[in-house]
């Protein structure tokens, strides 16, 4: 029963702060709401016995990504909130209809597949007497080592690529200034 | 930490679906490009919830490893997305998606 209560508190906080991202008009408030949502999802990972992922979620998402977003807001000086565009018109009701349809399809599929899930007898490779983080790292560095290396390469490419994009824009601007 | 026998996996999947749809609505409805990127982050996190729940209920650690990779790729995606936002802002002086008309015929 206590687990149910913890789950419902954390889940409702996740959903409320996600709704905050959608509904706040000022982008900086959306960003702070996103931080609350990410921290709550990290707590959810803790209750799911995934302590390592919870700490990674806190460090990478709630730390790095959120600070990056807020720093971009600071750099770009975006202090004009959007006009309230949620009027109940044809377009908005169409969007709400599509979102509601998708939500009901997703939940129905989840319920149908959970029957399938309980009849599924896949490989079970968590041993309860060992630490989950230890098992995760053992499997990560043996079976999934190639993916791990590819992710490292991807991060290098991203670093080079984003610098190149900024450089491209700068040179294009310089050219247009020269031609004027 | 907490044995989850009292919570069925349906509840985690319903929470995941709810957060996913809220993220999708954020991408579709909001005009600010940075807030749309936040919506993408929400959608990725919703899939992470589902994957960790499946990993827990299935006693299979591969779901958690997949979440680890998803977090790494999402960080890379945010870096590129914010770079594109900055370069768009430098060119057009706005982040409102309705003001980008250069592809309109």
A110 or B21, higher pLDDT: B21
Kindly report whether the global pTM for this prediction surpasses the value 0.90: no
Mean pLDDT is highest, among A7-16, A20-29, A65-74, for: A7-16
**B26-85 residues touching A, CB cutoff 8 A:** 26, 28-32, 34-35, 37-39, 41-42, 45, 48-49, 52-62, 64-65, 67-69, 71-76, 78-80, 82-85
pLDDT at residue B2 tops 50: no
Shortest CA distance to B71 belongs to which of A42, A132, A106, A34? A42
pLDDT at residue A178 tops 50: yes
Mean pLDDT, rounded, for B10-30? 90
> What's residue A129's pLDDT?
65
| B11/A7 CB distance under 8 A | yes
| B58/A159 CB distance under 8 A | no
DSSP string of A119-136? Answer: H--------TTS-HHHHH
Nearest CB to B80; choose among A14, A123, A161: A161
Ranges A68-72, A86-90, B79-83: which has the least confidence = A86-90
Mean pLDDT is highest, among A1-5, A11-15, A111-115, B24-28, for: A11-15
pLDDT digits (tens, 9 = 90+) for A33-86: 999 999 999 999 999 888 899 999 999 988 899 899 988 888 887 666 566 555
Q: What is the mean pLDDT of chain A?
A: 84
Half-sphere exposure of B22 (CA within 13 A, CB side): 25
């Amino acid at each position: 029963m206590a687990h149910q209560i913890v789950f419902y508190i954390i889940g409702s906080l996740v959903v409320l702060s996600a709704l905050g991202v959608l509904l706040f008009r000022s982008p900086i408030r959306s960003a702070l709401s996103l931080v609350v949502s990410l921290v709550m999802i990290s707590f959810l990972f803790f209750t799911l016995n995934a302590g390592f992922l919870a700490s990674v979620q806190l460090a990478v998402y709630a730390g790095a990504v959120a600070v990056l977003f807020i720093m971009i807001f600071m750099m770009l000086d975006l202090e004009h909130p959007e006009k309230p565009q949620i009027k109940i018109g044809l377009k908005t009701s169409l969007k709400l209809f599509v979102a509601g349809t998708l939500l009901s399809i997703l939940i129905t599929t989840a319920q149908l597949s959970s029957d399938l899930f309980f009849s599924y007898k896949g490989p079970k490779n968590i041993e309860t007497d060992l630490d989950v983080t230890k098992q995760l790292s053992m499997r990560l560095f043996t079976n999934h080592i190639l993916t791990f290396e590819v992710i490292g390469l991807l991060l290098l490419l991203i670093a080079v690529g984003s610098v190149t994009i900024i450089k491209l824009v700068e040179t294009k601007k310089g050219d247009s200034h020269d031609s004027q | 930490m907490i044995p989850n026998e009292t919570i069925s996996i349906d509840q985690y999947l319903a929470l995941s679906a709810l957060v996913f749809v809220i993220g999708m609505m954020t991408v579709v409805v909001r005009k600010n490009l940075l807030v749309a990127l936040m919506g993408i982050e929400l959608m990725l996190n919703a899939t992470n919830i589902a994957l960790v729940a499946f990993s827990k209920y299935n006693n299979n650690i591969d779901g958690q490893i997949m979440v680890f990779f998803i977090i790494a790729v999402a960080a890379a995606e945010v870096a590129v997305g914010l770079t594109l936002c900055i370069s768009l802002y430098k060119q057009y002086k706005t982040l409102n998606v309705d003001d980008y008309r250069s592809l309109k015929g």
